[in-house]
Amino acid sequence: MIFRFVFSLLPGALISCGGFAQPAAVPQQLIVTPYEQHLNLSWKAGPEPNISGYKIYRSTDGGNQFTFLKSVAGRNTTYAFDWTGDEGQALTRHYRVTAVAGPTMESVPSETASATTFTMNDEQLLEMEQYAAFRYFWDFGHPVSGMAPERNTTPNVVASGGSGFGIMAIVTGVERGWITRAAAIDRMVQIVSFLQNADQFYGAFPHWMDGNTGKVIPFSQYDNGGDLVETAFLMQGLLTARQYFNQNTALEKAVRDAITGIWENVEWDWYRRNNSNVLYWHWSPNFGWQMNFPLRGFNETHIVYILAIASPTHAIPASLYQSGWTAGNYRNNSIHFGYPIFTGPFGGGPLFFAHYSYLGFDPRNIKDKFCNYFTRNRNHALIQQQYAVLNPENHKGYSADCWGLTASDNPWGYSAHDIQPANDNGTITPTAALASFPYTPTHSMAALRHFYRNIGEKLWGDFGFRDAFNLDQNWYATSYIAIDQGPIVAMIENHRSGLLWNLFMQNPEIQPALDAIGFVPDNSPVEDLKKTGFEVSVSPNPATSAEVVTLKMNLPEAVSFSIALSDSAGKQLRTLSDQQHYAAGVHQIEIDVKNIKPGVYVLHFSNGMAQKLTIL
């Protein structure tokens, strides 16, 4: 006898299970967290394996009528946000969430939760963005390995360097109370257990790995082996965590021991390539040293030499800091917008040069024979901020509050952006300004406010500000990248508390390495340049056929300063006065421009003032 069963599949109802219908579990623990222009929603996932996502419903009338707001995909995606965009207004919203199985079946709604937006102060805005970026590593961490996915679009491709940044984010999350210490140590057990069994090449990890298996995923044709730079970024995070998880419990001790084993297993000396006087970035079991990339500075790889010299098991001689890292064209005596850059390429290069090696390594109050790297990195950020103010390429949106050029996505792909005209295509990357918080807190805070309040919903997503935007092209990234999110969390924390700097520097291997390199104390104050409030103007401006232009200065008080003429990228061309003393009142200076080719130029004053001059 054949029995026929007929089920009516109404919304909110049933999930087929072995021929019988069972109700889908209702999402539990719905929490709504309010901010100034948006609200975050989070809930607990149901147990069913066939949940395909969730639907969010919203009420704007006090919880009487609910309408569909949005869907989120994936049973483990248990968060969403609702952008209200009403700065300064207190708006109350009520929400319910349902679970979806398959294309049509939907659970009954969760209990209602509500919250009211409010005007936020700077500290609250800072916490908001830092926490949102942290969630990329916590909520989006790989479910098997616990590692950080390279991108939100490639969840199974995990990055060794990005995971080092993510480990620092986890430490920050515990300290800030966003997660419990117990949950964090469970995640650390997951990560170090994965790393102990992942592919390694003379102790170095590959750039990319399969998050399930730990097998190498080639980064490029010849890059399918050890990546010493990404490994150094990973070790920086692991050593920071080793100092933080210092309690006398079985799990924390096991994590510390595992980190020590991973750290001591890295054969930094192998990457000298037959005992040469420089370190090399890559080695492949198939292609050997085919990549042939010697690590010479200045760039993002400073931390590699510090850790290689610090290694207790496979150290390189400290002399390689000079023969490798600082050899060649290391020193840069150029001045941009009044700020010396000391080392590195024109203008300092993309801003990630000032971030990646300094998430744990504290550059304050010490210097090698070239510079104090805190001062160098601060000047690097200030050069970029001034470049955005003057905006010589006339890109849309650039301003004192909208700045930051670094490696990121752009409308045409991915590139390392900086102030050289050839590398400035109009793409602003939030991590550039936000990871500069320890160096330029005032300018970075202004950028954070601008990104959130003025660009807003087009730039904001589940994990804070998305990767980049380009207003010339009306383009906004949908991507998140681990190596851009991580520095936001870590450097904001170093600005707020110095936590990660303090932890990393407490590792007993670090100070002897710095001593061997030749770092010495440098307690000279790092002060912000202050404007005197005087007014300046140049006429005619733009200058067409004029051979002389006149600089007019109205000084409210006596002052001494220097005046320099720079090109559009801030490279100094001519000194017009050198620490000359001027009395209060009006002063005029004539500038000979007859031999200057057409272009955009800058008159820079050593007190921070700048004036654009266009010669046609």
Whether residue 360 has pLDDT greater than 50: yes
> What's the token pair of residue 294?
């010697």
- Does one domain contain both 346 and 387? yes
Highest mean pLDDT out of 76-80, 399-403, 537-541 = 399-403
**pLDDT, tens digit (0-9, with 9 covering 90-100), for 313-350:** 999 999 999 999 999 889 999 888 888 999 999 999 99
| Predicted confidence (pLDDT) at residue 576 exceeds the cutoff of 90 | no
Whether residue 478 sits in one domain with residue 459? yes
According to the model, what pLDDT value does residue 162 have? 98
Q: Domain boundary at 489, 521, 553, which?
A: 521
pTM of the model: 0.87
* Contact yes or no for 362/504 (Cβ under 8 A): yes
pLDDT at 23: 59
- Whether 465 is in a domain gets the answer yes
Q: How many domains does the chain have?
A: 3
What is the Cα 532 distance to its own chain's centre?
33
Kindly state whether residues 28 and 78 are assigned to the same domain: yes
Tell me the average pLDDT of the chain. 91
Range of the domain at 556: 535-615
Q: Is residue 221 part of a domain?
A: yes
Please state, for a pLDDT cut of 90, what percent of the chain lies above it. 74
Does 529 reside within a domain?
no
Find all residues with CB under 8 Å of 75, minimum gap 6, and list them. Answer: 45, 46, 48, 49, 51, 52, 53
Read off the pLDDT of residues 379-393 as tens digits, 9 standing for 90 and up. 999 999 999 998 989
SS3 state of residue 115:
strand
Residue 8 lies in a domain: no
Contact 244, 256 (CB under 8 A): no
Q: Higher model confidence: residue 46 or residue 476? A: 476
What is the structure's pLDDT at 553? 79
**Are 99 and 146 in a shared domain?**
no
Over residues 437-444, mean pLDDT:
96
**At 612, is the pLDDT very low, low, confident or very high (cuts 50, 70, 90)?**
confident
Mean pLDDT of 416-436: 96
Q: What is the CATH number of the domain that holds 430?
A: 1.50.10.140
- What DSSP state is assigned to residue 192? H
User: Do 209 and 82 belong to one domain?
Assistant: no
Which residue stretches of 316-372 are H helix? 320
- Residue 534 has what pLDDT? 58
Q: Give the rounded percent of residues in the chain with a pLDDT score beyond 70.
A: 93
Q: Is the pLDDT of residue 523 over 60?
A: yes
Select from 72, 90, 119 the last residue of a domain. 119
Q: Is residue 9 part of a domain?
A: no
For residues 478 and 607, membership in a common domain is answered with no
Q: Please give the DSSP secondary-structure letter assigned to residue 317.
A: P
pLDDT at 525: 64
Q: Which of 499, 521, 543 is the last residue of a domain?
A: 521
* Residue 273 and residue 251 share a domain: yes
Q: Looking at residue 605, which CATH number applies to its domain?
A: 2.60.40.1930
Of 12-16, 242-246, 286-290, the poorest mean pLDDT is in 12-16
The whole-number pLDDT of residue 616 equals 63
Q: Are residues 111 and 176 in the same domain?
A: no
Burial category of 337 from C-beta neighbours within 10 Å (exposed 0-12, middle 13-18, buried 19 and up): buried
Shared-domain flag, residues 389 and 314: yes
- Mean pLDDT for 195-213 is 98
Check pLDDT > 80 for residue 544: no
Which pLDDT band holds residue 3 (cuts at 50, 70, 90)?
A: very low
In a domain, 6, yes or no: no
277 vs 48: CA distance, rounded Å? 58
Residue 66's CATH number: 2.60.40.10
Q: Please indicate, yes or no, whether residues 517 and 539 belong to a single structural domain of this protein.
A: no
- Any domain includes 598: yes
Backbone angles phi, psi at 190, to 5 degrees: -60, -45
| Comparison of pLDDT for 543 and 14, the residue scoring more | 543
Answer whether residue 59 shows pLDDT above 60: yes
Measured over the CA atoms of residue 206, residue 211, residue 214 and residue 215, the dihedral's sign is negative
Q: Are 354 and 484 contained in the same domain?
A: yes
- Quote the pLDDT of residue 607: 63
- Quote the CA–CA distance of 613 and 57 in Å, as a whole number: 55
pLDDT value of position 13: 38
Question: Residue 483 pLDDT > 90, yes or no?
Answer: yes
Looking at residue 135, its pLDDT comes to 97
What type of residue sits at position 81? Answer: F
Other CB atoms within a 10 A radius of the CB of residue 333 amount to 9
501 and 587 in a single domain? The answer is no
SS3 123: helix
Residue 530 lies in a domain: no
Q: Is the peptide bond before 298 cis (omega within 30 degrees of 0)?
A: yes
What does the pLDDT read at residue 12?
39
**Is residue 1 predicted with pLDDT exceeding 90?**
no
